[in-house]
Amino acid sequence: MSPALWLKRIVLPFVLTRAALLIVGGMALVLLGSARGAMPGNLVAHAPAPVPLEIWARWDSEWYLLIAERGYDAGDALRPFSPAYRPEDTTGFFPLYPLLVSGAIHLGFPPVAAGVLISNVALLAALTLLYLLARDEWGDEAAGTAVWILSAFPFSLFLSAVYSESLALALILGAFLSARRRRWALLAVCGFCAGLARPTALLAAPALAWEVKERDGGWRGWLSLLGFPAGIAVFCAYCADTFHEPLVWAVRQQRWRGPSSWPGRAFTRFLESSPHLHGAHDSILELCVAMVFLLSMIPVLRKAPRSWATYTVLCVLLPLSSTLWSFGRLSLMTFPVFASVGDSLRRAPSGLPAYLSLSLPLGGFLMTLFACGWWAG
C-alpha cells in the first residue's frame, strides 16, 4: 500500500472520527461535568488528566491503569471502593494491554496518555489490517468503505479509550492476514499475543483451522493455532501462582456477566427485566445492536470465507449466551461483519452517507455518556 493510499483509506477516517469523538467528549465533560459523584463505590485508579485525555479513561480503564501501575496483586487499592470488589477481580483484565501501558509509563508518558497512545496506535494497525483483508476479498472500494464502517461504528469510541479492544482486534486481524499469506510463525505469534490480550481470542482458533486446511498449512499451520490457547495458558499459570486458582479470571467474568447457557439467554434475560434505553442487562440499544449483528451474519455466511463465517458465528453467539451487557463493545471484534457491510454499501452511492448519518450521532451520544462517566458499554 502506497503512503498516499494509506493516508486516504486509513488515516483520513481515523482522524475525522477520532476528532469528532474528541470534540464531543471534551464539550460534554466541560459543559455537563463528571457523574462520578453520582456513582460512589466505583473504582477510580488514576489521577485527573487534561480534558482531552480524561474523557478516554472511564470504567474498565481504571482497572487497566491500576494493573499497569500496581500489578495484579493490588487488592489493597480496592478497599476504599465497592465492598463487592475482590482482590482477584483484577484478573478479569488480561495482561498484554496493561503491560504495554506500563512500558509506555516507564518511558515517561503519564498513565492516561500512555493508554490512549497504545489504543490509538493499535487502532491504526487494526484499520490497516482490516483494509488489507477486505481488499484481498472484495477489492479496494469495499475495503475503504469497511474502514469507514468500523471507524464510525457507534461503539468505536472504545477503540480509542483506555481499553484493550483495539489491541485485541489488531492481533486477531493480524492472525487472519498471516494465515491468508501462509506465514505460520507470525500467525503463532499473533495468536499467542491475542490470547494474552483477551480470552475471547480463542474463538479465532477454530475459525482459522479452515485457513490452515484450505491453504495446505501442514503441520506448521496446525501447530501455529496452538498460539491462542498458549497465551491464555500462560496467564492461567500466573493466576495459579498469584491467586491459587488458574481460572480465577473466568470466575470473575461469570460473577459479573452471569453464567452462560444457550445463545438466546441474553434475550430471555432482557425480557425478564425492565428495559431501559441503555443500561447493563436490559438495554434496548444493545438489543438493537444484537439484532443487527444477527441479521448481518446472513451475508457473511453467504459470501465470506468459511473462516470468517465461523469466527462471526462464534463472536456473535457467545456473548448472547449470557447477557446483552456490553454487546456493542464486544461486537467490535467481529471484523467480518464490518468488511461485509463495506462490500454491500460500496454498491449503493447513498449507502455510506446513510450509515454515517445514523451512526455518528449515536456515537456522539455514547461518547457523551462515556466522557461524563455514565455507562456507555
- Where residue 19 falls among pLDDT bands split at 50, 70, 90? very high
Confidence (pLDDT) at 262: 80
Range of the domain at 109: 3-372
**Contact (CB, 8 A) for 42 and 78:** no
CA–CA distance, 101 with 117 (Å, rounded to integer):
9
Helices (H), the chain: 3-6, 12-32, 51-54, 60-70, 96-106, 111-138, 140-151, 165-180, 184-197, 204-214, 218-224, 227-243, 248-257, 265-271, 284-303, 306-320, 327-330, 335-345, 351-372
| Domain annotation covers residue 117 | yes
What's this model's pTM, rounded to 2 decimal places? 0.97
Confidence (pLDDT) at 282: 86
| Domain annotation covers residue 7 | yes
pLDDT at 230 over 90: yes
CA–CA distance, 281 with 252 (Å, rounded to integer):
17
pLDDT at 256 over 90: no
| Domain annotation covers residue 11 | yes
pLDDT at 24 over 80: yes
pLDDT at 261 over 90: no
CA–CA distance, 230 with 237 (Å, rounded to integer):
10
| Domain annotation covers residue 170 | yes
Residues 352-364 have a mean pLDDT of: 96
| Domain annotation covers residue 25 | yes
Q: What is the average pLDDT value for the chain, to the nearest integer?
A: 94
| Domain annotation covers residue 377 | no
pLDDT at 7 over 80: yes
- Where residue 346 falls among pLDDT bands split at 50, 70, 90? confident
Lowest mean pLDDT among 15-19, 221-225, 281-285: 281-285
pLDDT at 36 over 80: no
Residues 325-354 have a mean pLDDT of: 93
Q: Which of residues 319 and 264 earns the better pLDDT score?
A: 319
| Domain annotation covers residue 183 | yes
How many domains does the structure of the chain reveal?
1
Which residues are bridge partners to 334 per DSSP?
none
Lowest mean pLDDT among 147-161, 252-266, 318-332: 252-266
CA–CA distance, 69 with 295 (Å, rounded to integer):
42
Share of the chain above pLDDT 90, in %: 81
| Domain annotation covers residue 57 | yes
Confidence (pLDDT) at 259: 80
Residues 192-220 have a mean pLDDT of: 96
If one counts every other C-beta atom within 10 angstroms of the C-beta of residue 68, the result is 27
- Where residue 98 falls among pLDDT bands split at 50, 70, 90? very high
Lowest mean pLDDT among 67-76, 118-127, 265-274, 312-321: 265-274
